[in-house]
Structure 1
Amino acid sequence: MKHKTPSGRTTSAELFGELVRQLRIRAGLTQDQLASALPVDRSLIAHIEAGKRRPDLEHVKVFDRLLDPDGLLAEMWGKVDWYAPHPAHPDWFRKRAEMDAKAVALREFQMQVMPGLLQTPEYARALIARDETDASRLEDRVRARLSRQERFLAKDGPAYRVILDECALHALVGDSRVMEGQCAHLLNVARTANVVIQVLPAQRSEPVRPTTSLSLITLPQGREVLYSESVNSGHFVHDLETVRATGRIYDVLRAEALSVGETAALIRDVRERYARDEAPHRCQCGDVAQEQLQRQQLRKLHRNRPRIPRRRPRP
């Protein structure tokens, strides 16, 4: 699908991609050869040349070294509006998108799937395709999701801390290639100074996990808002006590999660399994949640049972 402006004109992303293509052809390289130099999959080069994918700056520097010694591509990269025109978000999500545009910090806990701010285009497309069959609307929704990422994934972006339930790594979205690319993206993003990613192991029965994914959005002047989602609906909580209580829950989750180094090691291991096209591990999140519920019920029974005085033997 070509990404045209409302007037039907070619976007700057497409012009950049066409320049890459012309320079590659002039250098006598195929897409496969250019991909091998990075190294990435050939499909990434095809998407970049079609104006459908924003390349990493480090990749563009490699392009310049191989295709254009004057550094033109790296200079142009910073001037391209990769997501213009910005597609409209769903009405129920628009307020959240507006908050993301001005947030100074964001803390997220994500349960079954990757947060939108960390999804690759392939992962987002496979996920959205589950309930969107129209190809045009599918691409618009993918681009809308990607348009939120650039601000948070920039080196000078807002502080962004993510706790991923381990189930999000093992829940297959698309196929093994999509998941391998998604894991590689997490490892790459985690090197950004403002981004911290931690995984909460599925088998860790404590602490009790929230029943839904949640976001704590810090706005200018320090005001914080709690955001969560249900099916096709977003929910905002502004009550100070509720937000503070959720912040304390989040701090406990963070303390119980793997360290940054342990998280990276786990993601690398999962990525290698996907690279071997192995079936993902069966996630035990549901079993853990059931065990936690049973433990809570036992505690209630213990607290509520009648106290029977016991005769203690005298010394």
Structure 2
Amino acid sequence: MTTKSGCGDPQHLRGIGMSHRRLENGLTSSPAVMFGEALRFAREQAGLKQEDLAKLLHCHRTVITRYEGGKRPMDRDTVEKADELLAMGGLLVRLWERVDWHADVEHPDWFQKYVELEEEAVGVRVLQYMRINGLLQCEEYAYEIFRLGDARNNPQWLSERVAARLSRQDRFLTDDGPSMIVILHESAIRTVIGGPGVMARQMEHLLSVGERTNVVIQVAPFASRARKLPSTSVILLEMADGKEWVYSESLYRGHFSDAPTVVQESRRDFDLVRGAVLSMDDSHALIAEAMEDYRYAERRAERGVVAEEQLQRRQRGRVHRGSPRIPSRRRPRA
């Protein structure tokens, strides 16, 4: 199965491993996974399938799967109802109370967890530095991003990663898709990936995507007057049940939190930054200007290559193999 890949930095190219979090064949140090295993055991002892418990709890089967895998926390009301339905006498509630559900998630499969949350999100807000966010990347740009981290130069590996990234965009790039508000710092637009030709096509893609009714793209210029700019890219995910997650990245791992204080602070920072960015029209104009600049640079580069090739052909024509170079005689004028 192809893993859906990350936002664009080389650290997203790492493999995905979950064996240390599962109990099928060994131990785990994760309290969340232990709680999920207890829930699974109780469900099976009650003779219920995941579909059955999902109906009783008024949710989808995949939600039960994530509860039992320790990938998604249950709220207290749901835990209490599950405890009663499964006749656990309060044990599930006591276990749930012992888990730090607000702890940051830091493990090798961190981006897979993000993708799973993204697939259920009804709203996404993004503040992005240095790179275009994965949900807004065109095919050429995504290819170059992955190529930067492919030391093996494996065409099949690159093709699979690009296809996985583009497939994540499908549910967002439709007229009835989830809302997506993206603030691109100007550094994401000015940082050249793959050359001016690739950047020109990426800018064109941004302009096209920005025309969709569910997508808002605004630019935070270098000279932004925002009182406080977060030091790293941040994504806020709004779920159908009203729950919100904050996701950010450090060098080798992702960080998740649904702690109310963290969510509130991140939402406030996002709103403050958005109040100081360019309007949608001005952002469109800046991206269009960058597109024309990249197209001009691409044409100049192409002309430079042609001129260099012509010069090399002329030089080859003037070199006599195996003999010294002899200046040509001037023909007498008529």
Task: Report the TM-score, using the length of structure 2 for normalisation.
Answer: 0.55
Gaps of 5+ in 1: 7-89, 280-315
Does the CA-based 8 Å contact 1:92-1:232 persist in structure 2? no
Choose from 179, 183, 186 the match for 1:166: 186
Choose from 263, 271, 276 the match for 1:256: 276
Does the CA-based 8 Å contact 1:212-1:228 persist in structure 2? yes
What is aligned with 1:98?
A: 116
CA distance in 1, matches of 2:250, 2:142: 18
What is aligned with 1:140?
A: 160
CA distance in 1, matches of 2:214, 2:268: 21
Distance 1:136 1:91, change over 3 A: farther
CA distance in 2, matches of 1:278, 1:123: 15
What is aligned with 1:19?
A: none
What is aligned with 1:175?
A: 195
Which residue identity lines up with residue 251 of structure 2 in the other structure? V
Gaps of 5+ in 2: 3-107, 300-334
Does the CA-based 8 Å contact 1:217-1:224 persist in structure 2? yes
Choose from 152, 167, 171 the match for 2:172: 152
Task: Report the TM-score, using the length of structure 1 for normalisation.
Answer: 0.59
Choose from 214, 229, 233 the match for 1:209: 229
Choose from 109, 114, 132 the match for 2:132: 114
Does the CA-based 8 Å contact 1:109-1:214 persist in structure 2? yes
Q: CA RMSD, aligned part only?
A: 1.8
Larger Rg: 2
CA distance in 1, matches of 2:288, 2:294: 10
Percent identity of the aligned residues? 40
Does the CA-based 8 Å contact 1:162-1:197 persist in structure 2? yes
CA distance in 2, matches of 1:278, 1:136: 28
Does the CA-based 8 Å contact 2:226-2:275 persist in structure 1? no
Note the C-alpha offset of 1:206: 3.1
List structure 1 runs of 4+ shifted beyond 3 angstroms: none
Does the CA-based 8 Å contact 2:128-2:185 persist in structure 1? yes
CA distance in 2, matches of 1:207, 1:277: 35
CA distance in 2, matches of 1:214, 1:181: 25
Note the C-alpha offset of 1:208: 2.5
1:234 and 2:254 equivalent? yes
- Secondary structure of residue in 1 paired with 2:212: coil
What is aligned with 1:311?
A: none
Higher-RCO chain (CA-CA 8 Å, sequence separation at least 6): 2
